[in-house]
Structure 1
C-alpha cells in the first residue's frame, strides 16, 4: 500500500516538473519472474523517480548509502524498498604526501604512510589515473594490479575496498523470490552525453543468483532520454528495451571462468543500453543529431516510439560516419549547415518547429494574433497567484539547487557541468518549500475564517476547519492547472512572436527557411548514401516507390531529423 501511494506521489512530482513524459515500449517489461532493470544515470534522483513512477513492476532500486542517509531521500527510499549500497567513493579520504610512478610501473611515495593508510584491494585516485593496489611493499612503495606510467608528483585519494557480499546476498534473495531489482550500472550519476564504463556488479548479482538458485534472470535496459532535463517544464522520454534472458550456459561458464562470463554479459548490457539511449561524443554533436532528425522528419509527424527509434539510429549513423569517413565532404557540409542554422535560430529566438509554421496571410495573422492575445491574458489572470509564488519560491529553489550543483561538481571527476543533480534538488526543495508555504497559507486562511464567522465559537472553528481542509485539497490542484495554463500561454506567446516576425521581417524568416531546406536536402543525401552501408537490413528494393524509399531511409537512419542536424 505504501509503495503504491509513494509511486503515485512520484508521478505527481514528474507531472509538476516535466511538461511531458513519453513512454516507449513499456509493454516489453515482463510481468513476472526475476528481473533486473538497468538504466543510464543522467539525472541523479530523477532517474529512479521516472522509472518507478512509470514501470508496471514493483521495483527495488539499489541506492548509495550516502543518499539513503539523507532525510527526505532516505524516507522515500525506505517506502520504496530500496537497498542501500556502500560505495568506495563515499568513504574516500585524502592520502598523506604525494605519489609518482617509477620505471617498473610501481608507485613511489613522497612523504607517504602506505603501511598505515592503505591495504591490498584499496583503490588510489590521483589527478590523471585510478588504480587498484596489489600489494603494499613499504611506507613509500606499492604495487598496482597493472603497471602505471607517466604519473608525476600528484596528490591522491584513497578509496577503501568495500565488502559487498551482504548486498549481493540481499539482491540474489530478491531475485530468487521473482522480484524486480533496479540498478544503474554506470555507478554515480553524470551529465555526459556518452555512457561511463559499466560496473561489473550487475553481472555478479545476475549470474550469482542463476548459479546459486538455478533460476533464469532477465535483464531489461531502459533509456532515460532528457531534453534539457535540468530545467523546469522540460521533456523526457523513457525507452523500455527488449528484455534479455541470460542463457543458462553463461551461468555455467560463470562457475568455471567468472571473469570471462562477466565480460560477455557486460558487453551484452552495454550493447543493449546503446539501443535505448541517444548518445553522441559531445553536447554540440548531440544537438546536430537532434536537429538533423527534426528537419528530416518533424516531431509532430510521428509518434514518440518512432521518433525515439529514429533518434537512436541517427546517433548511430552520426558516430559511424564520423569515425569511418571523417573527411567526407557531404558530412562536413551538413555539420556546417546545421551549425549555421542553429545559430540563426538562436539570434531570432526561434525553434525549428516555429520556422515550419511561420507562413501566414495578413488576414489569418491578424485573427490568430487576436485570439492568442486573449488566451494569454486569460491564462495570466487565472494563474497570477502562481506567477507571484513562482518568482519567490523559484528564486529560493534555484539558489539551493545551484549550491548543490557546485558541491557535486567539485567532488566529482566525471561531471561536466553538474546538471545531473539540478533537477533532483529542484524537485526536493520545490516540494519542501511548497508544502511549508501551503501549510502557512492554510493556517492564515483558517484564522481569517474564524475571525469572519459570527456563529457560536464551536461553529466558527468547525466551519473554519472545513475551509482549511478544503483549501489544502484544492490548492495543489489549482497550482497544477495554473502551470498548464502558463505552458499554453507561453506557447501562444511564441507563436504570436513568430507570426509578427514573419510579417515585419520576412527577409529574416525566408533566410532561415532557405537554410532549413538546404540542411534537409543535405541530410537526405547523407541518408541515401550511407543507409545501405550502416543498416544493410533496411536496404530498399529497386521497385519501391519514392514515398516508400523515403520511409525506408527514415527507418534506417532513425529519421535524421530526430537526432538533430540543424
Structure 2
C-alpha cells in the first residue's frame, strides 16, 4: 500500500519537476516478470523514481545496505520494496556476503516479480557509463539455472539522459532497449559460470552505452557540450533525421561524441586547436554576458525581439507579481533544503522533488485557508483561487526566463551601437569555429563512406 501511494505521488511530482519526460520504445517494457531492469545511474534517487514510474507492475529495488538502519527504518524500506545488498566499498574491513540479497532476488524472480538494479553501483553526475559490475548477471543466471532454464528471466536495459540533472523544469529522455533473454546464456553458464556472467555483463554494458550519451572523459564531455551549443542546429540541417525532436537531439549528440572520439585518436592536434578556439570564444561571451545563440541574429532582429520581449514583460508584470507572491517560498524552500542537506550535486534533484511534493501543497492549503478566514469567498471562488496558484507559478517561471532572454537581447543591442567591432570580431571567431566543425564533419563522413 505504501509503495502504491508513493508511486502515485511521485508520478505527479515528476510531471511538475520536469519540463519534458520523453520515453523512446515504451512498447518494449514488459508488464510482468520475471524481469530485471538495469539502468545507468547519474542522478541518485531520481533514477529509480523515473524508471519505476514507467512500469505498470510493482518494482523491487536492489539498494546498498548502508541505507538500512533501525528496525522501523528497515520495515519502512522493505515496505517500499528495497532489498539490501552489501558492497565492499561500504565496509572495506569486513567480509562481504550477499547471500541474503541473492536469495531474496531469486525468490522474487521465481514469483514473477520485477527487480530494478543499477549495475554501476554508485551514482555520478556524468554523461558516461562507469564500470558495470557482474552482480546483475549473476542474479539473472543463478535464478535461471535454478529453474533449469525454464523461468524466462529477461533483462531490460534503460538509458536515462538528463538535460540538466540538478535543475527544476529540465528534460529527461528515457531510452528503452530490447530485453535480453537470459536463457540464451544458460548452457554457457553450466560450463563456466564466471565466463558466462562476464559475457552477459559485457552485453549489458554494450546495450546501456548505446542507450545513453557516453563520453569517455570529462574533457571530451565538455567539448561535446560546447560543440552541441555551437553546431547542433547546423548539423541538424545538414543531416535531416525523420524522428521526434527528443530522439533527433539524442542521435545528433551521439554523432558529435563519436566524431570527437574519432578525431581525438586520429587528429589530436586538430582537436586541441578547436578546443583552444572554442575556449577563447566562450570566454569572451562570458565576459560580455552574452549567449552564442544571439550572435547569429542581425541588428534588426535583435531590436525587434528586444522590443517585443519588453512589451510582453510589461503586459505580464501584474500576473508575474501575483505568481511570485504565492509561489516564491514553496519554490525556493526545496532548493535551500537540498543545498543545506548535501554538497553532492547528484542528490539535489531528488531532494528538491521530495521536498517540493510537500512544500507546494502545504503552502497552497495555507494560502487558501488564509483567504477563507479573511474574506470567506463562495466555494467556487475559493476553488478558482486554488487553481490559479500553480498556474500563476508556471507563468512566473516562464516570465523570469523571458526576462533573462530579453536582458540578453538588450545587452547585445547595446554592443551593436557602442562596440560594434567587438560583435563583428566575435562573429568572425564563431564563423571560424563553424568552418572547422563543418570541415571535420565532411572529413568524418568521407571516412565513414570509405570503410
TM-score by length of 2: 0.83
Aligned residues: 438
Which is higher, the Rg of structure 1 or of structure 2? 1
SS, match of residue 48 in structure 2: helix
Unaligned runs of 5+ in 2: 238-243
Which sits farther off after the overlay, 196-205 or 333-342? 333-342
Deviation at 1:199, TM superposition (A): 1.9
- Distance in 1 (CA, whole Å) between partners of 2:368 and 2:76 is 25
For 1:270 and 1:432, locate their aligned partners in 2 and report how far apart those are by CA, in whole Å: 37
Normalized per residue, which structure has more strand?
1
Does 2:345 correspond to 1:419? yes
Distance 1:298-1:277 versus aligned 2 partners, 3 A rule: same
Q: Which residue of structure 2 lines up, in the alignment, with residue 86 of structure 1?
A: 85
CA distance in 1: counterparts of 2:260 and 2:57, whole angstroms: 35
Worse-matched range after superposition: 378-387 or 520-529: 378-387
Indicate how the Cα distance of structure 1 residues 282 and 384 shifts in structure 2: closer, same or farther if over 3 A, else same.
same
Structure 1 runs of 4+ aligned residues shifted over 6 Å read 70-76, 299-302
Partner of 1:334: 274
Q: 479, 503, 507: which is aligned to 2:413?
A: 503
8 Å Cα contact 1:211/1:252 also seen in 2 = no
- Flag the 1:366–1:528 CA change in 2: closer, same or farther, 3 A: closer
Residues 543-563 of structure 1 show CA distances to partners (whole Å, capped at 9, x for unaligned) of xxxxxxxxxxxxxxxxxxxxx
* 481, 487, 500: which one aligns with 2:397: 487
SS in 1 for 2:167: coil
Contact 2:31 2:55 in 1 (8 A): no
Aligned partner of 1:220 in structure 2 is 156
The DSSP-based 3-state class of the residue aligned with 1:230 is coil
> Which structure has the highest helix share of the two?
2
Unaligned runs of 5+ in 1: 93-123, 125-157, 407-417, 454-462, 542-566
The aligned residue for residue 338 of structure 2 is 401
What is the deviation of 1:266?
1.0
Q: How big is the shift at 1:481?
A: 2.0
What is the RMSD of the two structures over their aligned residues, measured on CA atoms? 3.6
* SS of equivalent to 1:224: strand
- The 3 A distance-change label for structure 1 pair 366 and 252 is closer
* C-alpha contact (below 8 Å) 1:379/1:489 kept by paired residues: no
Where in structure 2 are the equivalents of 1:12-27 lying within 5 Å?
12-27=12-27
- Give secondary structure in 1 for the equivalent of 2:162: strand
The normalised TM-score by structure 1 is 0.67
Note the alpha carbon deviations across 1:380-432, whole angstroms, 9 max, x for none.
Answer: 13312245425xx62x54443234324xxxxxxxxxxx211122222233334
**2:220 is the counterpart of 1:285:** yes
Match of 2:442 in 1: 528
Structure 2 residue 42 is the aligned partner of structure 1 residue 42? yes
Q: Which residue of 1 aligns with 2:99?
A: 165
Shift of 1:265: 0.9
What's the CA shift for 1:435? 4.8
Q: Could you list the per-position Cα deviations for residues 11-48 of structure 1 after superposition, in whole angstroms to 9, with x for gaps in the alignment?
A: 22223333333323333323445322211111111111
Give SS of 1:42's match: coil
